[in-house]
Amino acid sequence: GESVGLHLPTLSVQEGDNSIINCAYSNSASDYFIWYKQESGKGPQFIIDIRSNMDKRQGQRVTVLLNKTVKHLSLQIAATQPGDSAVYFCAENMGYGNKLVFGAGTILRVKS
Amino acid sequence: NAGVTQTPKFQVLKTGQSMTLQCAQDMNHNSMYWYRQDPGMGLRLIYYSASEGTTDKGEVPNGYNVSRLNKREFSLRLESAAPSQTSVYFCASRAAAPTQYFGPGTRLLVL
């Protein structure tokens, strides 16, 4: 899940295993959700997005699941690789204006 | 197609000095954004520009000014830098969809 402050939640997985990163969002009016990956020393990189009228969307090795009932978003990464090690952020579009609200992030560490 | 570019990559300032961070995008996006990221934190919006000729404050605008020079360029100015402005600054842009695309960041240290 998400948290704020200096101590980001960390997920450690073995190479080849599947990873699930969770995010709780705040606004039931949010109409669009985005997952970003940020490697050390780099800018956030777009991974996948999903509209609020969808429950699931798949990309290459990634799947995003949206549960609007409990305002929960998850990112599943299949066959996790060392190159997947990064901080992962979810972001929600509040449905008005042009702004995104970002979570604090989750650290993913992949053990070889 | 370079996407979003930012200059400089690194900068060290003394308290009270001024500087301008530059951002440019070549994706013909209408909206552009400036964020700051502090250690272990998510991104906080400083200012944004929904379209050329408009700018609006975000969550943490104090101590900053912006200029949307044209559709491609959006600059962030620190008039009198303070140690609390030590951070990593990211510029982003978006088209019609909400997804934003980010630059590589500027790392700023204010002594």
The pLDDT score that the predictor gives to residue A104 is 84
Contact residues on chain A for B99, CB-CB shorter than 8 A:
32, 34, 46, 49
Residue A95 confidence class, pLDDT cut points 50, 70, 90: low
Residue A6 confidence class, pLDDT cut points 50, 70, 90: low
Radius of gyration of chain A, Cα coordinates, nearest whole angstrom: 13
Interface A–B counts its CB contacts (< 8 A) at 58
Residue keyed to tokens 């200029």: B67
The pLDDT score that the predictor gives to residue B41 is 75
10 Å Cβ neighbour count for B74?
28
Q: For an interface test with B, which of A31, A51, A100, A101 has the most B Cβ atoms less than 10 Å from its Cβ?
A: A100
The pLDDT score that the predictor gives to residue B23 is 98
pLDDT in tens, A25-83: 988 888 899 999 999 999 999 999 999 999 999 999 999 999 999 999 999 999 999 99
Contact predicate A105/A89, CB 8 Å: yes
- Better-predicted residue by pLDDT, B5 or A103: B5
Longest dimension (CA), chain B: 40
Q: Which of A41, A42, A104 has the CB atom closest to B42's CB atom?
A: A104
The minimum CA-CA distance between B42 and chain A, rounded to whole Å, is 4
- Low-confidence stretches of chain B (pLDDT beneath 50): none
The pLDDT score that the predictor gives to residue A97 is 66
Contact A43 B98 (CB under 8 A): no
Contact residues on chain A for B50, CB-CB shorter than 8 A:
98
Q: How far apart are CA B109 and CA B87, in angstroms?
A: 7
* pLDDT over threshold 90, residue A8: no
The pLDDT score that the predictor gives to residue B83 is 97
Does B53 reach chain A within 8 Å, measured CB to CB?
Answer: no
Burial of A53 (0-12, 13-18, 19+ CB in 10 A): exposed
CA angle B48, B51, B54 (to 5 degrees): 65
